[in-house]
Amino acid sequence: MRAVIQRVTEASVTVDQQVIGEIKAGLLVLICAMQGDDQTQADYLVKKIAKLRIFKDEAGKMNRSVSDTSGAVLVISQFTLAADTHRGNRPGFSTAAPPAQGEALYTYFADQLEAQGLVVQRGSFGADMQVRLLNDGPVTIWMDSAER
């Protein structure tokens, strides 16, 4: 699985002009299941993201996790993280998991973040979504479970 994690002061997702998920301070996580992924990859990313120390402590150092700060997480499915741009100018997405598998892993991933005690809001898998965020820092981190 691939993820882009952004530390935010606020974020929201809108579908058909209705806000369906919204958080204040915390993390916006864009997540993509790749072909061959299973719950093992999701579990790996959940543990890393829940404990990722990218929030400032009292000394101003990035030393606290979203769990430590009681922050929330907005999880958005984003198959375009599977983009292959090696040939030509049009990205290919054939390395993304098939939709049914992708949706199952997206749901599992978000459920497992909640099981870590985090407040989790979600986008709508496969929907045309508008995502708004105020990146804090900015702090943006890329993770790929295949690169562990």
CATH number at residue 80: 3.50.80.10
Q: Is 79 assigned a catalytic role?
A: yes
Q: Tokens for 148?
A: 């562990």
Residue given tokens 């898998």 in the structure block: 125
Give me the chain's average pLDDT, please: 97
Whether residue 147 is predicted with pLDDT greater than 90 in this model: the reply is no
Q: How confident is the model at residue 102 (pLDDT cuts 50, 70, 90)?
A: very high
Which is catalytic among the residues 9, 80, 93, 130? 80
Q: State how far the Cα of 114 lies from the Cα of 93, in Å rounded to an integer.
A: 29
Contact by Cβ (8 Å): 20, 11: no
Whether residue 104 is predicted with pLDDT greater than 90 in this model: the reply is yes
Q: Is 78 assigned a catalytic role?
A: yes
Mean pLDDT for 95-102 is 96
* Cβ atoms within 10 Å of 148's Cβ, excluding its own: 9
Q: Is 93 assigned a catalytic role?
A: no
Model confidence, pTM: 0.96
Which is catalytic among the residues 6, 14, 78, 112? 78
Mean pLDDT for 73-95 is 94
17-32 pLDDT per residue, tens: 999 999 999 999 999 9
Counted domains in the chain: 1
Give me the domain span that covers residue 48: 2-147
Q: How many CA atoms lie less than 13 Å away from 20 in the CB half-sphere?
A: 16
Mean pLDDT for 59-74 is 97
Mean pLDDT for 90-102 is 95
Q: State how far the Cα of 18 lies from the Cα of 9, in Å rounded to an integer.
A: 21
